Structure 1
Amino acid sequence: MKALDIIKYVFKSASYGVFIAVLLLLFFPKLAGNVDVFSALTKADGNGQPLSYAKGVSVASPAVVNIYSKDFQSSSAFTTRARNVQRLGSGVIMDQAGFILTNFHVVQGADQIVVVLQTGQQFPAELIGYDYLTDLAVLKVAATNLPVIPQNLALQSRVGDVVLAIGNPLDLGQTVTQGVISATGRNGLSSNYSEFLQMDAAINEGNSGGALINTNGELVGINSSKFKQNNRLNPVQGIFFAIPYELAYKVMTQIIEKGRVVRGWLGVASDFYEPNYKGFIVQDVTPNSPASKAGIRVNDLIFSIDGKPIDSIPQALDIVAETAPGTRIDIGLYRGDRKISVPVIIQERF
Structure 2
Amino acid sequence: MNAATAKSWLSYILRSVLLGIVVAALVIWALPLLEAWQAKRQQPDEAFSFATAVNRAAPAVVNIYSMSEQRGSYYNRRNNSVLRLGSGVIMDNVGHIITAAHVVANVSSVQIALQDGRQTSAQVIGIDNVTDLAVLRVELDNLPVIPQNDELRTRVGDVVLAIGNPLNLGQTITQGIVSATGGRMGVINSHADLLQMDAVINEGASGGALVNSQGYLVGINNAQFRGPAGQGVEGIYFAVPYTLAKSIMRTLIEEGEVVRGYLGIQTSDSVPNSRNYQRPGIFLTGVDDGSPAAQAGLQPNDYIVDIAGEPITSAADGLALISNTKPGVELTVTFFRGDEELTTTVTIGKLPN
Q: What does residue 36 of structure 1 align with? A: none
Measure, in 2, the Cα distance between the counterparts of 1:177 and 1:275: 43
Matched residue pairs, number?
312
Compute the displacement of 1:43 (Å): 8.2
Measure, in 1, the Cα distance between the counterparts of 2:137 and 2:66: 14
Which of 251, 255, 264 is the aligned partner of 1:254? Answer: 251
1:27-46 matched pairs, under 5 angstroms: none
- TM, length-normalised to structure 2: 0.74
Compute the displacement of 1:146 (Å): 2.1
Aligned partners of 1:113 and 1:126 also within 8 Å? yes
Compute the displacement of 1:64 (Å): 0.7
RMSD: 3.7
Measure, in 2, the Cα distance between the counterparts of 1:53 and 1:314: 35
Measure, in 2, the Cα distance between the counterparts of 1:228 and 1:278: 28
**Cα displacement string for residues 103-156 of structure 1 (whole angstroms, at most 9, x for unaligned residues):** 122223321111111111112111122122322221111233322212233433
Matched letter for residue 330 of structure 1 = T
SS at structure 2 position matched to 1:291: helix
Q: In 2 relative to 1, CA 47–309 (structure 1 residues): closer, same or farther, beyond 3 Å?
A: farther
Q: What does residue 210 of structure 2 align with? A: 212
Q: In 2 relative to 1, CA 307–170 (structure 1 residues): closer, same or farther, beyond 3 Å?
A: same
Aligned partners of 1:208 and 1:223 also within 8 Å? yes
Q: What does residue 86 of structure 1 align with? A: 83
Aligned partners of 1:67 and 1:88 also within 8 Å? yes
Which of 191, 194, 197 is the aligned partner of 1:196? Answer: 194
Which of 312, 315, 324 is the aligned partner of 1:313? Answer: 315
Q: What does residue 162 of structure 1 align with? A: 159
Say whether residues 1:96 and 2:93 are aligned partners. yes
Matched letter for residue 238 of structure 1 = G
Measure, in 1, the Cα distance between the counterparts of 2:73 and 2:284: 51
SS at structure 2 position matched to 1:133: coil
Measure, in 1, the Cα distance between the counterparts of 2:115 and 2:345: 53
Q: In 2 relative to 1, CA 53–108 (structure 1 residues): closer, same or farther, beyond 3 Å?
A: same
SS at structure 2 position matched to 1:86: strand
Where does structure 2 lack aligned partners over 5 or more consecutive residues? 1-25, 31-36
Matched letter for residue 280 of structure 1 = I
Which of 125, 129, 132 is the aligned partner of 1:128? Answer: 125
Aligned partners of 1:90 and 1:207 also within 8 Å? yes
- TM, length-normalised to structure 1: 0.75
Q: In 2 relative to 1, CA 335–128 (structure 1 residues): closer, same or farther, beyond 3 Å?
A: same
Compute the displacement of 1:92 (Å): 0.6
Measure, in 1, the Cα distance between the counterparts of 2:56 and 2:199: 19
**Cα displacement string for residues 286-330 of structure 1 (whole angstroms, at most 9, x for unaligned residues):** 454333444556665422223433122222111111212122333
Q: In 2 relative to 1, CA 121–338 (structure 1 residues): closer, same or farther, beyond 3 Å?
A: same
Report % sequence identity: 47
Measure, in 2, the Cα distance between the counterparts of 1:346 and 1:72: 37
Q: In 2 relative to 1, CA 291–53 (structure 1 residues): closer, same or farther, beyond 3 Å?
A: same
Measure, in 1, the Cα distance between the counterparts of 2:175 and 2:101: 24
Aligned partners of 2:64 and 2:86 also within 8 Å? yes
Say whether residues 1:277 and 2:274 are aligned partners. no
Measure, in 2, the Cα distance between the counterparts of 1:287 and 1:270: 15
Aligned partners of 1:307 and 1:330 also within 8 Å? yes
Compute the displacement of 1:41 (Å): 11
Measure, in 2, the Cα distance between the counterparts of 1:127 and 1:117: 17
Measure, in 2, the Cα distance between the counterparts of 1:301 and 1:82: 49
